[in-house]
Amino acid sequence: MNNKINWEKFSKCIITYPFKKYNIVYFHAFTGSYKNKSIIANQFEDCNFYAFDMPGHGDTKFDSNEQISINYFCELGIQFILDNDINNVILFGHSMGGGIVTMIANHPLIKDRVKKIILECPASLASLVNYETVIKKLIPDSLEEMELIANELFYDPLKFFGNDKNYQKFLNLEFERLKNKQYLKVILDKDNQKEMGNKINQGIIANDKKALLILGEEDKIIPAKESTEIFKVNSNYQISIIKNTKHVPIAEKTNELLKTINYFIQD
């Protein structure tokens, strides 16, 4: 474990107030940023909020290719909690971030600090179900592939963006952004996905914390049916499958899921 991380190089967010019961530590999705979930930063009255962007994500740069790996991201997550001396932790992760949460929650250096877990469409071996048609294209090589991926993120893209003009603008901007992230394709390598999935399975089995698992019923990136089969081996997971959503249910059903998450935190 590297205990000399220079956090000044990282894009991060720390929002704290006196007398809060819990501290949410948020882990973002592949190619994403904690800023994509800024809506949750001040939503829960009992919680402070901590987050950072992984190397090569958001506004965080990277110094070497060795820093672009799930194992290194896990090390950073553990060290972030230790360096900020965060206790009474609620680990919260989306997609890749959910996989990271599952892998680190029972790490001996932080397991006593972690009180609850919240997972939104977390990475797992379920991602291999549609590996060839979806996962390997998450860094798209064409605008057509970008549209394919966007259509798997959102259940109803036109409704989410308001109209086709806004949706097409999103597709073009997102494609231009992702064209510059070719270095992240190593994470999508099938062998790396299998290795990550197997480690996530170990974390699922070992988890002894109360956990909320949120899945999009129509998600093909992390399919709900296969995810349910994987996670139901451990009764500590409360599974909530959200109708009419795909890979970003909190974005598509914001008010409903904020209430669900708040109830889980308060319970």
94 contacts 37 by C-beta, under 8 angstroms: yes
The pLDDT of residue 39 is 86
| DSSP letters spanning 186-232 | HHH-HHHHHHHHHHHHHHHHH--SEEEEEEETT-TTTTHHHHHHHHT
Tell me whether strands 47-52 and 89-94 are parallel, antiparallel or unpaired.
Answer: unpaired
Is residue 90 within 8 Å of residue 117, measured between CB atoms?
A: yes
Structural fold of domain 8-130+189-266: Rossmann fold (3.40.50)
Q: Give the distance, in angstroms, between the CA of residue 10 and the centroid of all CA atoms in the same chain.
A: 17
Query: Residues 70, 76: contact at Cβ < 8 Å?
Result: no
- Are 65 and 192 in contact by the 8 Å Cβ rule? The answer is no
Residue segments in the chain with a per-residue pLDDT below the cut of 70 = 1-3
pLDDT the model gives residue 3? 63
Burial of 63 (0-12, 13-18, 19+ CB in 10 A): exposed
Q: Which residues of 20-52 are buried (b: 16+ CB within 10 A; e: fewer)?
A: bebbbbbbbbbbbbbebbeebbeebeebbbbbb
User: What's the whole-model pTM score?
Assistant: 0.96
Q: CB–CB of 88/113 below 8 Å? A: yes
pLDDT of 178 = 97
Sign for the pseudo-dihedral over CA of 40, 20, 55, 30: negative
Q: How many CB atoms lie within 10 A of CB 59?
A: 10
The two tokens of residue 236 are 């500590």
Q: Where are the domains of the chain?
A: 8-130+189-266, 140-180
Residue 82 CA to chain centroid, in angstroms?
A: 20
pLDDT of res. 38: 84
- Please state, in angstroms and rounded to a whole number, the distance separating the CA atoms of residues 121 and 141: 24
The answer to whether residues 116 and 210 touch, using CB atoms and an 8 Å cutoff, is yes
Please name the amino acid found at residue 195: E
Which of 79, 77, 31 has its CA nearest to residue 56? 31
Q: Report the pLDDT value the prediction gives residue 42, as an integer from 0 to 100.
A: 85
Q: Looking at residue 45, what is its pLDDT?
A: 86
Q: Residue 177, exposed/middle/buried by CB under 10 A (0-12, 13-18, 19+)?
A: exposed
State how far the Cα of 51 lies from the Cα of 71, in Å rounded to an integer: 18
